[in-house]
Amino acid sequence: MEENFKRKSTKEKIVLWIVFGIFAVYAISLLIPFVWAFFSSLKTDDEYYGKVFSWPKDWLFSNYVNAFSQFKVGNVTFAEMFVNSVWLAVGGTLVSVMVTSMTAYTVAKYEFFGSKFLYKLAIFLMVIPVVGNLPATYRLIVTAGLDNPIGILVLWTGGFGMNFIILHGAYKSVSWTYAEAAFMDGASDSRVYWSIMLPQAVPVLVSVGVLSFIGVWNDYQTPFLYLKKTPTLALGIYQFDLMQQYRSNIPVYYCGVLMSIVPVLLLYCFMQKTILTNTVAGGLKG
């Protein structure tokens, strides 16, 4: 579907070159903070405050090693925050994708009492502007003792939301013929789901999963409220930033900040084509 630039008319080419200019400026503006942070991360603290635009005098790659011991929030080290992030992102993603997949598949493929209602409910939950349920959620989580890295996974067991819409659309478009053939051969509903239908939805599941992983990895509000004792990197960066008011170690801080983005950056670079071709949300009918 992608069009060839050379085959376009002169007028279109001019428009596209102008857009290219705008895109280039915007892209550079997005990259500059990271380039600047990278060079700053290789300086000493005095150098950092001395001249903003100077190159590092000695390229201190050792700052990255030091970040593992010096990038600390309370007693929690960078490595521990990294592990906390991995746990929450992997656990939250697995729970969220599996529950949403099961819900979307059942609603999309089975006619049962309330199936249409459930689809409408999913839409309703997305559009109803509930504003103030955070206090009640917070009280429930804390009272039930779920404010720990394992218990908090319960927050990702909701089967509805935008991922439901995407997966519902995906399962709707998967042919039911293979399932019918399998039922004729005596396969159970569960077998059909796990062995026939789920594998066909893997590309969409992967793209939804990658986006969920990125979302949980970057979430600082949930750890801020519920996981203060086991901070993730996203929360750690915020807390370490607050600590800079009392003691300064900016280059090491930049090292931690830059290292924290590597996993999601790699994940996205490898998966961006899958995400783009499989992340399709239709309208909110109902």
Binding to another protein (CB under 8 A) within 145-204 occurs at: 154-155, 157-160, 162, 165, 188-190, 193
User: What is the distance, to the nearest Å, from the Cα of residue 271 to the centroid of all Cα atoms in its chain?
Assistant: 12
| Smallest gap from residue 120 Cβ to another protein (A) | 13
| Smallest gap from residue 86 Cβ to another protein (A) | 14
**Piece in contact with another protein (CB under 8 A), picked from 46-54, 63-71, 74-82, 195-203:** 46-54
Q: Which amino acid is at 139?
A: R
- Applying CB under 8 A, among 10, 75, 112, 247 the residue interacting with another protein is 112
Residues facing 76 on adjacent strands: 73
| Smallest gap from residue 64 Cβ to another protein (A) | 16
Take residue 216 and report the two structure tokens written for it: 């949980």
Take residue 150 and report the two structure tokens written for it: 């394992």
| Smallest gap from residue 139 Cβ to another protein (A) | 6
Q: Which residues contact 183 (CB under 8 A, 6 or more apart)?
A: 192
Residues 200-239 that bind another protein (CB under 8 A): 211, 214, 217-218, 220-221, 224-225, 233-235, 237-238
Contact by Cβ (8 Å): 211, 65: no
| Smallest gap from residue 18 Cβ to another protein (A) | 10
- Applying CB under 8 A, among 41, 63, 93, 100 the residue interacting with another protein is 100
What end-to-end distance do the CA atoms of the chain give, in Å? 31
Report the alpha-carbon distance of residue 41 to residue 256 in Å, rounded: 9
- Applying CB under 8 A, among 83, 86, 102, 187 the residue interacting with another protein is 102
Residues 23-42 that bind another protein (CB under 8 A): 23-24, 26-27, 29-34, 36-37, 40
Report the alpha-carbon distance of residue 54 to residue 160 in Å, rounded: 51
Letters for 57-86 (x = contact with another protein by CB under 8 A, - = none) are ------------------------------
- Applying CB under 8 A, among 10, 52, 175, 246 the residue interacting with another protein is 52
Residues 237-266 that bind another protein (CB under 8 A): 237-238, 241, 250, 257, 260-261, 264-265
**Piece in contact with another protein (CB under 8 A), picked from 8-16, 55-63, 70-78, 195-203:** 8-16
Q: Which pairs from 222-228 meet CB under 8 Å and 24+ separation? A: 222/152, 222/155, 223/84, 223/88, 225/138, 225/147, 226/138, 226/141, 226/142, 226/146, 226/147, 226/148, 226/152, 227/84, 227/88, 227/147, 227/148, 227/149, 227/152
Report the alpha-carbon distance of residue 41 to residue 62 in Å, rounded: 10
**Piece in contact with another protein (CB under 8 A), picked from 2-10, 63-71, 72-80, 195-203:** 2-10
- The residue among 264, 257, 252 whose CA lies nearest residue 238 is 257
Q: What values do phi and psi take at 59, rounded to 5?
A: -70, 95
Letters for 115-144 (x = contact with another protein by CB under 8 A, - = none) are ---x--x---xxxxxxxxxxxxxxxx----
**Piece in contact with another protein (CB under 8 A), picked from 64-72, 74-82, 102-110, 195-203:** 102-110
